[in-house]
Amino acid sequence: MHRPSLMDRFSRTARGCAFGMAVLLVPVCGAAADSAFPFGHELLLDAKPMKGSRRLPVLDIRENGAAEIDLWCNSVRGQVVVSRDTISITTGEKTERQCEPERMRGDDDMLSALSQVTNWRLQGDMLILNGPRTIRFRMETN
């Protein structure tokens, strides 16, 4: 019976570790490389402006997942993680601009809805985010 040398065992262990690390890293790398997600596009909420304003929420998500989110009144920075059809959005603190109470409530509602999204899909030029509530954003075509 052939007994593997120390180098053979080391080589197999190293290959096994490399394979294990590759398996662990695939979901992380795949999240940033998912070319179907509209990274780098300005996405405008598919809704009518609130009374007395022309402003609509806008998502701007860079390739690295860093996001700028303009809400009904304020803005916030966030991070978006995409892997296949799943998505998670985390946000930081809002700016402290003062607006009508309705628009400030709209900011809170939008942030809450965005933090609860779990899946996404594209339908034409529309990004559809699903969670307890469905949110639709159109790609800007400036």
Split at pLDDT 50, 70, 90, the class of 8 is low
SS3 assignment, position 80: strand
pTM above 0.85, yes or no: no
Domain total in the chain: 1
* CATH code, 85: 2.40.128.270
- Alpha carbon distance 36, 34 (integer Å): 6
42-63 residue pLDDT tens? 999 999 999 888 999 999 999 9
Instruction: Look at residue 17 and tell me if it is in a domain.
Output: no
Instruction: Look at residue 48 and tell me if it is in a domain.
Output: yes
- Residue range of the domain that includes 76: 34-139
Instruction: Look at residue 28 and tell me if it is in a domain.
Output: no
CB 57 within 8 A of CB 140: no
As beta bridge partners, residue 127 has 122, 137
